[in-house]
Amino acid sequence: MTDRCFRIVLLLALMPLVSGAWALVGSYVGGRSAWGSGSMVGSALALVSTIVIWHRCVRWTVPRLLSTAGIALVATGQVVLWHPVWTTGWRGTDEFLCTSQALSGGGLALGALALTWWGGLLTRCDPRHSAPPSRRVVMTPNAVRLAIGVALLPLLSGLFFVEYLALNEAPWGWASRSCTWLSYETCAVVATAVWFLLWRRAVVWDSTRRLGSLGLALLFLASPLSVFWAYPFGATGLGPLCETLCLLSPLFTFALWLAGTAWLWRDRQPHALVGRLVGVGAEGAARCPTCGYNLHGLREVRCPECGWASTVDDIVQRSIVGTLAVP
């Protein structure tokens, strides 16, 4: 496991950790401030842990330090204020709305931090700005994509409940199933668009990948309609089970979208990745996999531009086993 994979796993571990901390603090505090106290501790834990996990992968500059501080202040400010965008008149509903806002705000903050730190690696407008010196961990575009993908989890969770409550409290009086459908649909559109935009430049597109991705996207986007399905199994006792499955089917198709696109978009010939990762350009010259610097004529496998280094035997060994393509 590479150092970047290790940090991504730590980021994933934050999700149950933050949920557990929120529940623990909420149950300990109790009373009217339980939800707010739990969300405050959870948000602080998520932000601080994210910065600690990734701090060695970022080339810290004054603009990045200021942007990071601003994002953290905005994300924690809504939790400290603990006030819903609109009030429903019911204490419990307002508390749930504030919690949903904190979830979506936390997801936006995680994604904004990743773009602030390494956005140039995805746009390739300045591939060197996120390449730290050799004493630090060099970030790669795929690792950035995965870091932003993790941020989708809290973002979509909070977005679903915020929209559901907004539609449910609307003066025109939406039915519960219509609110659920539209909330699921919005989350599906956001997840599909963000996931595609993250990976579109990393995939070698062919007809199979295009058609397969289109089919998975249509299935995912159509899955929220399952909340309107009729359930003819009430007399047999299967009605509640079938209704629950229909209500949760968008979650299953979301998992299918992620797993299916990963299977479709993966590189099926690992040996073909060697030249791309080591950096063999169209002109046949070896280039640094981090910053794209031309390595032709160098007497050592070290990039003078960003500090990336390797050994010839390591490159050969990895190319044989096809393990160079790591995030």
pLDDT at position 79 is 81
Residues whose CB is less than 8 angstroms from the CB of residue 161 and which lie 6 or more positions away in sequence, other chains included: 96, 97, 99, 100, 103, 183
Q: From 310, 306, 327, 309, select the one nearest 132 (Cα to Cα).
A: 306
Residues 167 and 284 in one domain: no
pLDDT at position 325 is 40
Number of domains the chain is built from? 2
Q: At 63, is the pLDDT very low, low, confident or very high (cuts 50, 70, 90)?
A: very high
Q: From 261, 112, 147, 148, select the one nearest 200 (Cα to Cα).
A: 261
Q: At 302, is the pLDDT very low, low, confident or very high (cuts 50, 70, 90)?
A: confident
Tens digits of per-residue pLDDT, 64-117? 999 999 999 988 887 877 777 777 667 677 788 888 888 898 899 999 999 999
Give the end of a domain, one of 121, 155, 174: 174
Distance CA 152, CA 158 (A): 10
pLDDT at position 275 is 45
Residues 135 and 13 in one domain: yes
The whole-chain average pLDDT of the chain stands at: 78
How many percent of the chain have pLDDT more than 90? 31
Evaluate whether 78 touches 42 at the Cβ level (below 8 Å). no
pLDDT at 151 over 80: yes
Largest CA distance in the chain: 78
Residues 49 and 157 in one domain: yes
Decide if 264 is inside a domain.
no
Give the end of a domain, one of 138, 156, 174: 174
Decide if 100 is inside a domain.
yes
The structure's pTM equals 0.76
Q: At 277, is the pLDDT very low, low, confident or very high (cuts 50, 70, 90)?
A: very low
Decide if 296 is inside a domain.
yes
Owning domain of residue 315: 271-321
Decide if 147 is inside a domain.
yes
Decide if 50 is inside a domain.
yes
* 272 vs 45, higher pLDDT: 45
Give the end of a domain, one of 174, 208, 234: 174
Decide if 184 is inside a domain.
no
Q: At 201, is the pLDDT very low, low, confident or very high (cuts 50, 70, 90)?
A: confident
Residues 298 and 166 in one domain: no
Decide if 246 is inside a domain.
no
- Tokens matching residue 275: 């030249």
Residues 307 and 160 in one domain: no
Decide if 307 is inside a domain.
yes
Across 59-63, 74-78, 134-138, 216-220, the highest mean pLDDT is recorded for: 216-220
Residues 165 and 305 in one domain: no
- Tokens matching residue 27: 């149950």
Go through the chain and tell me how many residues it has.
Answer: 327
